[in-house]
């Protein structure tokens, strides 16, 4: 099969890949998105909390007002300490809503010109052709592309990140279960994000709208055949057993969760110290979203950070005058990507570090726990500071 020529190739049609294509398109730059699945992956992952920084990025992408009516605005955060019988509550800082992942993915997809996304195209390898100095992409389906520009947005197991020689991601010592419970007659929960904490576990509950509620909880890693976690009923029963000491209201929510929404995830992260030193662009190849900075869900910021990433390369390219296919030069793209990595590095280092320390705090005990509490207090005295970030205009 002959090699195809493409100017601007994005790998992965997840949140970040689609958002990156939308941003480029808004700047008049055409791209093609290569996705391994046969259709948009809009049926997994249940829901996603989007904080103010994420809404700022969605505003820039021009899709925020389509998404706002799909989810209620959360007014309050509450932490319930079950063992101690205490609770603390505070007003929600900034716009926060919990979107159905399918609404987010469908909306970004619909904002793109038809045929931008090519399904059934799983990247197998990326190599630099030393004669042309262009990256050559090979796909499992036999297709191959000589690209001028590549942005790897294919998640935590990124082949493009490997090509950039970024250190491999690590596994977090706990897992996560999440789901959505639909209540056809409406639920009785306030517009608040509640975390219920007991021992070394935490259950979160966030209403999406008047009839649906998203929830998640930590789950220990159980060695054995991992395929058992593809069975929703195994996930439900294991979670119910784990949370048997939690209030009946929580158990009912899990008992009644939509079977298709239940998902068990092992948690992967890129170490904050590797983000500090890693090379995230080489020539006209870079990475964004989880491919760059996969992090645990403990701050609920991985997806929003990917939306922030998406705005930046398009803005830089336009600022350097690369705002149409004719004007895209290798030198210009290299400069735009170097600026992008510089602009994003410390933001994602801080987010990943706070996420890591917060996660370790939940799963550790004794002296280790004290150390993580102190680290968090010293490094992140404003624990909600991450929400106030503005990725800037497109």
Query: Which residues contact ligand FAD (rule: CB under 6 A)?
Result: 11-17, 34-37, 41, 48-49, 122-123, 153-155, 159, 176, 178, 265, 267, 289-290, 297, 300-304, 306
Closest CA to 264 of 39, 40, 46: 46
Q: Which helix (H) or strand (E) holds 178?
A: strand 170-182
CB of 140 to ligand FAD, least distance (A): 8
CB 297 within 8 A of CB 325: no
CB of 327 to ligand FAD, least distance (A): 27
CB of 392 to ligand FAD, least distance (A): 18
For ligand FAD, give the closer residue by CB, 322 or 348. Answer: 348
Are β-strands 123-129 and 134-139 bridged in parallel, bridged antiparallel, or unpaired? antiparallel
For ligand FAD, give the closer residue by CB, 250 or 305. Answer: 305
Closest residue (Cβ) to ligand FAD? Answer: 14
CB of 154 to ligand FAD, least distance (A): 4
For ligand FAD, give the closer residue by CB, 297 or 359. Answer: 297
CB of 305 to ligand FAD, least distance (A): 7
207: its two tokens? 């209403």
Closest CA to 101 of 226, 235, 212, 255: 212
CB of 185 to ligand FAD, least distance (A): 26
For ligand FAD, give the closer residue by CB, 41 or 148. Answer: 41
Q: What is the gyration radius of the CA atoms in the chain, in angstroms?
A: 21
CB of 351 to ligand FAD, least distance (A): 10
Q: What whole-number distance in Å separates Cα of residue 146 and Cα of residue 88?
A: 56
Q: Helices (DSSP H) in the chain: which residue ranges? A: 15-26, 52-61, 64-67, 101-110, 159-163, 232-242, 248-255, 272-277, 290-293, 302-319, 330-363, 366-379
Are β-strands 97-100 and 76-81 bridged in parallel, bridged antiparallel, or unpaired? unpaired
CB 192 within 8 A of CB 75: yes
Q: Which helix (H) or strand (E) holds 146?
A: strand 144-152
CB of 324 to ligand FAD, least distance (A): 26
Residue 295 pairs with which residues in a beta bridge? none
Q: What whole-number distance in Å separates Cα of residue 82 and Cα of residue 84?
A: 6
For ligand FAD, give the closer residue by CB, 11 or 150. Answer: 11
Residue identified by tokens 């090519």 is 118
For ligand FAD, give the closer residue by CB, 17 or 272. Answer: 17
For ligand FAD, give the closer residue by CB, 152 or 318. Answer: 152
CB of 258 to ligand FAD, least distance (A): 16
Closest CA to 61 of 312, 285, 328, 335: 312
Are β-strands 86-91 and 117-118 bridged in parallel, bridged antiparallel, or unpaired? unpaired
Our CA angle for 345, 56, 23, nearest 5°, is 75
For ligand FAD, give the closer residue by CB, 49 or 313. Answer: 49
Q: What whole-number distance in Å separates Cα of residue 116 and Cα of residue 139?
A: 17
CB of 365 to ligand FAD, least distance (A): 22
**DSSP state string for 319-362:** HTT--SGGG--HHHHHHHHHHHHHHHHHHHHHHHHHHHHHHHHH
For ligand FAD, give the closer residue by CB, 329 or 384. Answer: 384
For ligand FAD, give the closer residue by CB, 328 or 359. Answer: 359
């Amino acid at each position: 099969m002959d090699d195809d020529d493409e100017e601007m190739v994005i790998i992965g049609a997840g949140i970040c890949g689609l958002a990156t294509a939308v941003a480029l398109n808004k700047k008049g730059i055409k791209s093609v998105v290569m996705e391994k699945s046969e259709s948009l992956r809009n049926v997994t992952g249940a829901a996603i909390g989007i904080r103010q920084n994420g809404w700022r990025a969605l505003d820039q992408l021009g899709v925020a007002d389509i998404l706002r009516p799909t989810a209620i605005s959360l007014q309050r955060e509450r932490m319930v300490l079950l063992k101690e019988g205490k609770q603390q509550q505070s007003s929600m800082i900034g716009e926060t809503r919990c979107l159905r992942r399918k609404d987010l993915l469908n909306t970004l997809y619909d904002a793109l010109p038809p045929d931008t996304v090519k399904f059934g195209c799983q990247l197998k390898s990326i190599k630099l052709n030393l004669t042309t100095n262009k990256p050559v992409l090979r796909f499992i389906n036999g297709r191959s592309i000589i690209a001028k520009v590549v942005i790897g947005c294919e998640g935590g197991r990124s082949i493009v990140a490997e090509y950039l020689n970024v250190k491999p991601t690590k596994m977090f010592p706990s897992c996560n279960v999440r789901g959505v419970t639909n209540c056809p007659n409406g639920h009785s929960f306030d517009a608040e994000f509640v975390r219920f904490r007991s021992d070394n576990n935490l259950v979160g509950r966030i209403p999406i709208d008047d009839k649906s509620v998203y929830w998640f909880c930590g789950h220990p890693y159980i060695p054995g055949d991992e395929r058992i976690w593809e069975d929703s009923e195994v996930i439900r029963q294991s979670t119910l057993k784990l949370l048997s000491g939690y209030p009946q209201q929580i158990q009912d929510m899990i008992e009644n969760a939509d079977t298709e929404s239940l998902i068990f995830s092992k948690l992967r992260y890129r170490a904050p110290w590797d983000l500090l030193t890693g090379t995230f662009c080489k020539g006209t190849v870079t990475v964004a979203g989880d491919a760059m900075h996969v992090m645990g869900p403990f701050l609920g910021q991985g997806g929003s950070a990917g939306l922030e990433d998406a705005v930046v390369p398009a803005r830089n390219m336009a600022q350097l005058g690369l705002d149409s296919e004719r004007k895209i030069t290798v030198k210009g793209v290299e400069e735009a990507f170097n600026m992008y990595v510089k602009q994003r590095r410390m933001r994602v280092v801080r987010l990943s570090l706070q996420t890591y320390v917060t996660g370790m705090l939940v799963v550790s005990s004794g002296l280790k726990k004290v150390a993580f509490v102190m680290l968090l207090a010293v490094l992140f005295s404003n624990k909600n500071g991450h929400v106030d970030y503005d990725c800037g205009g497109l």
